[in-house]
A and B are shown apart, each in its own frame.
Chain A
């Protein structure tokens, strides 16, 4: 296209960062050195259709430089043949990208609801006194600390993520964090002494069931992790890895689909859609795929786990990455897709490292690539990192994000199985769902369906956090009650008196201690007006000011709405304003009037928003208003 750029030029360092992702420019028209031949002919094929490389390229600049300058942005525009205003529109959408100069070293300090229960407010207060206010440079201008949304480290709250941009960029997780530790780590970062590993998966801290000798039924999703993880292909295979894929290939796509249907596995991402149906929809379009060379199928592993209080997918990817890869590969085998993507949350450095390693060694060992296990199956997987946008966990927003657009959701229909990534049929599944698949195929669908209840088959991962004695990820057959789960996790911590439980995260619902005997199934939670959602079980003791928690949830949505549709964009804003008035005791009219208005707005947001974010942004607040009279 005819690109118009401002005069801002990229520095040599910025060019290196971009070229590290995109390679050397093909010609001067894409920003390279001018050759005589450039003045006689130009092919646009070199940069055409490369828009999907925008997000990785922006990451490369952010990681290399620490911010995206006008010059760097111009260079990206030229390299990818995208107008600079569009590049800016995309870059400014994501929380992880800085568009103003800032120090290369950043401490992201979580102040979200799970961390609040574990002292994050005090941590922030201490950082304010030692480092200065959030958002202003500290450590002699070489670093900065920022408040952050949930970092998905809730079992080790309070959590901090340090990122250090530069030629060799580093990330390091600090959880649980103290102000002193943050300061030490910032100093380490400044002196380029950050440890090579971004984090350590500590089973004792994150997977308490690992310490138990046995569990009933045996752990299916966590069994390798509980035995010390399987981060190499050898250990993975030793623990039964790739038996599922071998059997799937033997069964063929139809046979595999039959087992999946028999398993009654429902998606674990929140919508609880039968996985067999989703995959079958793509499978049935395989003929079109063969007829039309312009057509493709895609499978996507949604690893953009960002629901406050959720960290199970992170632990699966850190501790058992091959299981995720095997699940995606079976997905590809059944659906006929040749390309899979893992859309992995930007704030998960260790998971990204382990997953990339798993992909590389699967490729080396013939479990990915041209002719998988000699079956003729051709399949590859690419990781795409998110960049700090909760909304990109919504599947259609995720498509736009991979494609290099703003992560704004699309209206449905058309559904992804008809028109998804690059407008092609696409199956999107959550990490946990996919990790279930190899075991189901290996042991047979019927065996799986025997676990859990009639309508909620199998086991489920729960993220226990907040005021709980042994926070971490737990696996239980569906049907266990909330009480049983809490007991398994050592009971209520804090002052020992349970005030409320948030089920399913910020988009979920609060339940009261009276509802502890609710079975943890899709139908059981639905019956009390709640949801399993992403498996969050966050406990609040009686010392917690629930009003502050509601306000923090409202602020979360205010921060994370994409802003595309009116009911959500303005709705979450008005919702936060309304809660703020209620919390400060200055309602418009009476508190009851204010609450009535809040609920009315909630209904319009639920009814008229484009996507699940707006549709659920009021649900946790609504659930609390239903259960307690907290504002009277």
Chain B
């Protein structure tokens, strides 16, 4: 067997494999530019937050709970659901807390009559047009704002439509879609950059669609499942979860979550494994993990099936 000789033999000052290298300085990222503090008032309480923060960030710091739907910390705010609107002194209209950056001396009300009315009506608009049965947060918000979607009558337009099951991994039930744009962002520039889906059409018939509504297997979809990961209403669902729900066996109370590392490539993605009754039922990833930011690929998201194969299964001959 040959020697390891990767260095120039004429050179005496090269590293030698048998001798450990000395420690160098601890590397650091370039220092971040310090952000100045901005003083604002929310519901009469003064607070100082770094420049670039949103009203939502500031409200959170004060412990004020703001309902959100289309907002997710790992995605660019699109501020389309308008359920987070607040009253900003001097502004003609209400402003979205999730995306409006703080400015010096802003004075904000998060629970005024105007705010409550808009939030209530936005919730009523959504709940009257969309099936929110698998969106637990929404139920809570509707109670809080005393929303009564049924008041728009029986003949109101809804987005009800047949469920789309065109592959073994995902189910798409657009009757539950609130058009929050999150899946489009996750499939697009905010994570996956595959752009298999986009918002198509306009107005009340605007919808999430592949080109010409082709089935997912004909589309650009790579089944990373990152759209499912961000869907707030269960419109996009793992087939494994959907099947259990259909069979009546889905029970989140019986589920636990454990983090591990994906068994496939070397990137080191954190998997949060959800198990029920000793079986893996779905896999997600934490939004705050520096490697994944909540995103996975098809193998990480769906490649765990092999764990469920019982050794009792006869070997395939």
* A residues lining the B interface (CB < 8 Å): 1-4, 6, 70, 73, 82-89, 92-95, 99, 389, 406, 411, 413, 558-567, 569-574, 577, 581, 588, 597, 600-601, 603-604, 606-610, 615
Residues B80 and A565 in contact, CB atoms below 8 Å apart:
yes
8 Å CB contact of A608 from B85, B99, B179: B85
Contact B156 A563 (CB under 8 A): no
What distance in Å separates the Cβ of B154 from its nearest Cβ neighbour in chain A?
A: 9
Task: Write the chain B residue with the least CB distance to A561.
Answer: B203
> Beyond A566-B80, A574-B128, A610-B80: 17 further Cβ-contacts under 8 Å?
A1-B195, A6-B211, A83-B196, A92-B209, A389-B202, A413-B100, A558-B203, A566-B82, A566-B179, A569-B206, A570-B126, A571-B121, A577-B152, A588-B153, A603-B114, A607-B93, A609-B82
Contact sample, A vs B, 25 pairs, CB 8 Å cutoff: A3-B220, A6-B211, A6-B214, A84-B211, A85-B197, A85-B198, A86-B188, A89-B198, A99-B212, A563-B199, A563-B202, A564-B80, A564-B179, A566-B80, A569-B125, A569-B179, A571-B121, A572-B204, A573-B204, A577-B156, A588-B152, A588-B153, A600-B117, A607-B85, A615-B93
Q: Please state if B206 and A562 are interface contacts (CB–CB under 8 Å).
A: yes
Chain A residues, CB < 8 A from B83: 566
Report the separation of the CA atoms of residues A574 and B150 in the bound assembly, to the nearest whole angstrom: 12
- Pair B219/A85 contact, Cβ less than 8 Å: yes
A85–B220 touching, CB < 8 Å: yes
Hey, which chain B residues are within 8 Å of A571, CB to CB? 121, 125
Q: How far is the CA of A610 from the CA of B218 in the complex (A)?
A: 35
Given A87-B211, A411-B99, residue A608 in contact with residue B118 (CB < 8 A): yes
A249 to B59, CA, bound (A): 51
A83 and B121 within 8 A (CB): no
Residue of B nearest to A588 (CB): B153
Q: Which one of A73, A560, A615 lies within 8 Å of B211 (CB-CB)?
A: A73
B233 at the interface (CB under 8 A from A): no
**Quick check: B209 and A88 within 8 Å, CB to CB?**
yes
0/1 interface trace, chain B 101-143, chain A, CB 8 Å (1 if under): 1000000000000100110011001101100000000000000
Q: Do residues A86 and B198 form an inter-chain contact, with CB atoms below 8 A?
A: yes
| B114 in complex: contacting residue of A559, A588, A607, A610, CB < 8 Å | A607
Which residues of chain B have C-beta atoms less than 8 A from A572's C-beta?
Answer: 203-204
Do B203 and A560 have beta carbons less than 8 Å apart? yes
B219-A566 in contact (CB<8A): no
- Chain B residues with CB under 8 Å of A2's CB are 194
A562-B220 in contact (CB<8A): no
Determine whether the beta carbon of B212 is less than 8 Å from that of A70. yes
Residue in B122, B129, B209 whose beta carbon sits within 8 Å of that of A604 in the complex: B122
8 A Cβ contacts from B282-300 to A: none
Residues of chain B with a CB closer than 8 A to A563's CB: 179, 199, 201-206
Contact among B101, B126, B151, B204 for A561, CB-based, below 8 A: B204
Bound Cα distance from A564 to B181, whole angstroms: 9
Digitize B141-178: 1 where CB-to-A-CB distance is under 8 Å, 0 elsewhere: 00000000001110111000000000000000000001
Complex CA gap A85/B227 in Å reads 15
Give min CB distance, B170 to chain A, whole Å: 15
Q: Kindly supply a per-residue 1/0 record for chain B positions 35-60, scoring 1 wherever the CB is within 8 Å of any chain A CB and 0 otherwise.
A: 00000000000000000000000000
Asked whether A85 and B203 contact (CB < 8 A) given A411-B79, A567-B125, the answer is no
| CB atoms of B125 and A566 under 8 A apart | yes
A229 to B123 alpha-carbon distance, docked (Å) = 54
Say whether A574 contacts B220, CB under 8 Å.
no
A609→B188 CA distance, assembly (Å): 25
B-side contacts of A562, CB under 8 Å: 202-203, 206
Structural contact, A574 and B198, CB atoms closer than 8 A: no
Q: Interface size on B (CB < 8 Å)?
A: 52
- Provide the bound-state CA to CA distance between A284 and B206, in Å: 40
* Interface presence of B235 (CB below 8 A): no
Decide: A574 near B152, CB < 8 A? Known: A406-B199, A411-B79. yes
Tell me, in angstroms, the Cα distance from A358 to B145 when the chains sit together: 57
- Contacts A73-B211, A597-B151, A606-B93 hold; do A89 and B204 have CB atoms under 8 A apart? no
B210 proximal to A (CB < 8 A):
yes
By a CB distance below 8 angstroms, the chain B residues around A94 are: 202
Of B118, B157, B201, which is within 8 A of A92 by CB? B201
Is B96 part of the contact surface with A, judged by Cβ < 8 Å?
Answer: yes
* Cβ-based interface call for B200 (8 A): yes
Neighbouring A residues of B79 by C-beta, 8 Å: 411, 565, 610
A609–B94 CA distance with the chains assembled, in angstroms: 8
CB distance B196 to A573 under 8 Å?
Answer: no
- Max chain A C-beta neighbours (<10 A), residue from B81, B125, B202, B218: B202
| Nearest-Cβ distance from residue B251 to partner chain A, whole angstroms | 31
Q: How far is the CA of A558 from the CA of B157 in the complex (A)?
A: 12
CB <8 Å contact, B202 and A92: yes
> Which residues of chain B have C-beta atoms less than 8 A from A561's C-beta?
202-204
- Please give the distance in Å from B246's CB to the nearest CB on chain A: 28
The closest CB in chain B to the CB of A91 belongs to B200
B193, CB-defined interface residue at 8 Å: yes
Report Cα–Cα, A609/B79, bound state, in Å: 10
For the complex formed, measure the closest distance between the CB of A580 and the CB atoms of chain B, giving whole angstroms: 9
A88–B117 CB distance below 8 A: no
Contact: B220 with A4, CB < 8 Å? yes
- Chain A residues whose CB sits within 8 angstroms of the CB of B121 once the complex forms: 567, 571, 600-601, 603-604, 608
Q: List chain B residues, Cβ under 8 A from A6.
A: 211-212, 214, 218-219
The 3 closest A-B pairs by CB, nearest first: A83-B195, A563-B206, A89-B198
A480 to B93, CA, bound (A): 31
A566 touches B156 (CB 8 A): no
Known: A4-B220, A89-B198, A411-B99. A608 touches B209 (CB 8 A): no
Task: Flag if B85 contacts A92 (CB, 8 Å).
Answer: no
* Complex contacts, B206 vs chain A, CB 8 Å: 562-564, 569
Query: Please, which residues of chain A bring their CB within 8 A of the CB of B218?
Result: 6
Residue of B nearest to A565 (CB): B80
Interface string of B50-75 (1 = CB under 8 A from A): 00000000000000000000000000
A567 to B204, CA, bound (A): 11
A573 vs B155: C-alpha distance when bound (angstroms):
12
Among A83, A99, A600, A601, which residue has its beta carbon within 8 angstroms of that of B194? Answer: A83
Please tell me which one of the listed residues B96, B156, B193, B204 contacts residue A1 in the complex, with CB atoms under 8 A apart.
B193
Check B93 against A608 for contact (C-beta < 8 Å).
yes
**A4 CB contacts on chain B under 8 angstroms:** 194, 196, 219-220
Say whether A608 contacts B201, CB under 8 Å.
no
Alpha-carbon distance between A413 and B202 when the two chains are bound, in angstroms: 24
- Inter-chain contacts of A601 with B (CB < 8 A): 121
With both beta carbons as reference points, the residue of chain A lying nearest to B85 in the complex is identified as: A608
Contacts of A559 in B (CB 8 A): 203
Contact present for B212 and A574 (CB under 8 Å): no
CB-contact partner of A566 in B122, B198, B211, under 8 A? B122
Query: A570 contacts which chain B residues (CB < 8 A)?
Result: 125-126, 128-129, 204
B156 partner residues in chain A, CB cutoff 8 A: 574, 577
State how many angstroms separate the Cβ of B298 from the closest Cβ of chain A.
14
Asked if residues B122 and A608 are in contact (CB atoms below 8 Å), the reply is: yes
Which residue in chain A gives the minimum CB-CB distance to B212?
Answer: A70
* C-alpha gap A99/B125 in the complex (Å): 29
Contact A88 B211 (CB under 8 A): yes
* Neighbouring A residues of B96 by C-beta, 8 Å: 411
Residue in B99, B155, B198 with the greatest tally of chain A CB atoms within 10 Å: B198
